[in-house]
Structure 1
Amino acid sequence: MRNRDHGQQARQAKPAFASFAAISAAVLATAVLAACGGGSGAKASQTAAKVNKEEITVHQINFVLQRQPNVKPEQVDAASRQILERLIDQELAVQKAQDLKVDRDPRVVQQIETAKREIIARAYADRIGETATKPSDQEIKQYYNDKPALFAERRIYNLQEINIEAKPDQFEAIRAKLQGAKTLPEFLESLKSDNFKFVGSQIVRSAEQIPLNNLDAISRLKDGQFIMNGQPNGLTVLFLAGSQRQPATEAQARPSIEMFLLNQRKAELVAKDIKAMRDNAKIEYVGKFADMAASAPAGTPAATPASTPTPAAPALEPAASDSPTGASGPVDNNLAKGLGIK
């Protein structure tokens, strides 16, 4: 199960921004004071080190420093020195690579061009996203009320995940085994006896670490219940071995909700702009890609820029019966030994 920790990322955004602002101010003040000297001193202040004939500048250090999270203003000087040493090592590696003509290797050239395109596309997405409006107080409140499993009824989930190799015509038989088992070990033993291959693991996830499309289904489970989800190569069974309530108030959740809704709006603006450009562009597929494009379903969405959120995992479907399997409490020891999990 892939996790999208949107709540945690949003909560980290505010302190990270504060540190960034403090660092930027400190570095800018240093640069301004140095520039006030005028003449050759102002020019020298932009050079932090010379590596053979090449210079490493304060601007390079500043750029890297701005990307370092959680650096306090009093740590700027020490962090700058560490960054400078890394830049020196990097410059030496670049110079050696140029001597060896590594920078002319076709694979390296392709990687450089790919990175350049990604950076430019990301900058475009950031520029479009700047026009997004912040969510209102009412919108934040509404989102809080609409997502009780994420906030007011938030839980920490102790899940047992079993991935079973099976064909679609075997799904009902496995479901019957699961519903008939009194304990999780009993179910796993029945899988072994019928030569089903499976892999199990224990995972502990808070509500915000579960993809939104899956959270509603999981939040409806009581301790000891399960859900099943069909996969291309079999079934995934999720047992809720146990859970603990840890609700979040609206005040606590507000920064996370505001950041999430704002990022969502930015992604929508970028997607809308990309669609408009595709509608007005002349796009011609060539070779095998022409055949693939012709056979693709109408309205197939285009790929979105790297900075837009990726879709959440497919929604899980609740099992036909919500009756508990009989397992009570964590059973990670059973999953770890003697039950055929390889």
Structure 2
Amino acid sequence: MTRTMKQMAKRLINPRAPQLLAAVATAVLLVACGGDKGDKASQTAAKVNKEEITVHQINFVLQRQPGLKPEQAEAAGRQVLERLIDQELAVQKAQEQKLDRDPRVVQQIEAAKREIIARAYAERLGEAVAKPANDEIARYYADKPALFKDRRIYSLQELSIEAKPEQFEAIRAKLSSSKTIAEFVEFLKGNGLHFAGNQAVRAAEQLPLASLDNIAKMKDGDSVLSPNPTGLTVLYLVGSRAQPVDEAQARPAIEAFLLNQRRAEAVQKDLKALRDSSKIEYVGKFAQPATAPASAPAVTAAPASDAPAPAASGLDPAAISKGMGLK
């Protein structure tokens, strides 16, 4: 396995998770008990005025820290405890000032509560979804050569050009005739065309999946021109190198991706059934049908989970699904 693969593999769910949690719990108990084996284990880690901070609170925070090693658990537990003490002091002062009754604070608490409950529903629903079979994983691997068998690392330059439709043809012709991207850039400057440049090195799975097949067909030195809301975008492939991933390496990421996809579909299907069986009445201005503008941002009411997705060597299931783009 290459160094890159090893680095990316660190995002895998830790197979030593049970041992890690045990080490975390032990470390936190040492914090709570002062390490004295003769004392009875206490669930209280600290007292802040009349309030207690418990071992369970510390464990909850530690379990949400990705990449925490067992040998780091004790130090991490002490750091978490200090942060919780600061938090408790702030909470006590806020309550003293009756900030917990502020309408804006109450609204935020209720919104967070609804999101947590909705997320729990989605997670419970997802637990019943079956894992993908081996043949499904193999088929996905075979159907996505640009992601796996023919995977490449791309060095890309992106130019976003402000231009009017009547200027498009001249820009396209010059891009086609330019021997280098530098020559094309000089043309843009000489003609007073404003543009912004960006350069990045991206692995195949970090590119938008919808664009990957087209980018994979490009050779070093090729460029692609596409329209954008203010003009044109040029994507130039400076260079690339092959870094394939075999099926064994890709399997955990593919399995996680397909499983997450199934869980999302199960949630959407269940929500549709709930909508169909419920009475939903729009009131006021929302009673009138309206079309949201194309540029309207997507709003997520309740994410399925904020836990990090597992990844195979060099592959991130989240990136496979949507890519990271060039920005």
TM-score by length of 2: 0.80
Is 1:150 matched with 2:130? no
- 251-260 or 185-194, larger mean C-alpha shift: 185-194
Alignment correspondent of 2:52:
55
Q: Shift of the alpha carbon at 1:156?
A: 0.4
Residues 29 and 11 (structure 1), Cα distance of their counterparts in 2 relative to 1, 3 Å cut: closer
Alignment correspondent of 2:13:
14
CA distance in 2, matches of 1:104, 1:304: 24
Alignment correspondent of 2:230:
233
Asked if 1 retains the 8 angstrom alpha-carbon contact of 2:28 and 2:78, the reply is: no
Q: Shift of the alpha carbon at 1:252?
A: 1.1
Residues 168 and 11 (structure 1), Cα distance of their counterparts in 2 relative to 1, 3 Å cut: farther
Q: What's the secondary structure of 1:227's corresponding residue?
A: strand
Alignment correspondent of 1:274:
271
Asked if 2 retains the 8 angstrom alpha-carbon contact of 1:20 and 1:69, the reply is: no
Letter in 2 for 1:101: K
Letter in 1 for 2:71: E
Asked if 1 retains the 8 angstrom alpha-carbon contact of 2:27 and 2:77, the reply is: no
Asked if 2 retains the 8 angstrom alpha-carbon contact of 1:150 and 1:207, the reply is: yes
1:178-206 CA deviation, whole Å, 9 max, x = no partner? Answer: 11222212211222222221100111100
Residues 296 and 87 (structure 1), Cα distance of their counterparts in 2 relative to 1, 3 Å cut: closer
Asked if 1 retains the 8 angstrom alpha-carbon contact of 2:148 and 2:250, the reply is: yes
CA distance in 2, matches of 1:244, 1:312: 22
Alignment correspondent of 2:193:
196
Residues 117 and 168 (structure 1), Cα distance of their counterparts in 2 relative to 1, 3 Å cut: farther
CA distance in 1, matches of 2:128, 2:101: 40
Q: What's the secondary structure of 1:13's corresponding residue?
A: coil
Q: Shift of the alpha carbon at 1:29?
A: 6.9
Residues 87 and 55 (structure 1), Cα distance of their counterparts in 2 relative to 1, 3 Å cut: same
Residues 31 and 186 (structure 1), Cα distance of their counterparts in 2 relative to 1, 3 Å cut: closer
Q: Shift of the alpha carbon at 1:138?
A: 0.9
Residues 286 and 294 (structure 1), Cα distance of their counterparts in 2 relative to 1, 3 Å cut: same
Is 1:264 matched with 2:237? no
Alignment correspondent of 1:180:
177
Please, which of 80, 83, 96 is the counterpart of residue 83 of structure 1?
80
Asked if 2 retains the 8 angstrom alpha-carbon contact of 1:160 and 1:203, the reply is: yes
Asked if 1 retains the 8 angstrom alpha-carbon contact of 2:126 and 2:266, the reply is: yes
1:6-46 CA deviation, whole Å, 9 max, x = no partner? Answer: xx98872322xx35322333456789999xxxxxx87x712
CA distance in 1, matches of 2:285, 2:179: 54
Q: Shift of the alpha carbon at 1:74?
A: 3.3
Q: Percent identity?
A: 63
Q: What's the secondary structure of 1:103's corresponding residue?
A: helix
Unaligned runs of 5+ residues in structure 1 are 1-7, 35-40, 316-342
Asked if 2 retains the 8 angstrom alpha-carbon contact of 1:48 and 1:58, the reply is: yes
Alignment correspondent of 2:310:
none
1:214-233 to 2 correspondences below 5 Å: 214-233=211-230
The alignment covers a number of residue pairs equal to 295
Alignment correspondent of 2:42:
45
Letter in 1 for 2:105: V
Q: What's the secondary structure of 1:14's corresponding residue?
A: coil
Asked if 2 retains the 8 angstrom alpha-carbon contact of 1:221 and 1:240, the reply is: yes
Unaligned runs of 5+ residues in structure 2 are 1-6, 33-38, 306-317
Residues 152 and 117 (structure 1), Cα distance of their counterparts in 2 relative to 1, 3 Å cut: same
- 73-82 or 193-202, larger mean C-alpha shift: 73-82
Q: What's the secondary structure of 2:221's corresponding residue?
A: coil
Q: RMSD of aligned C-alpha atoms?
A: 3.1
CA distance in 1, matches of 2:82, 2:128: 39
Letter in 2 for 1:276: A
Residues 206 and 277 (structure 1), Cα distance of their counterparts in 2 relative to 1, 3 Å cut: same
Asked if 2 retains the 8 angstrom alpha-carbon contact of 1:223 and 1:243, the reply is: yes
CA distance in 2, matches of 1:227, 1:216: 13
Alignment correspondent of 1:24:
21
CA distance in 2, matches of 1:144, 1:86: 44
Asked if 2 retains the 8 angstrom alpha-carbon contact of 1:11 and 1:255, the reply is: no
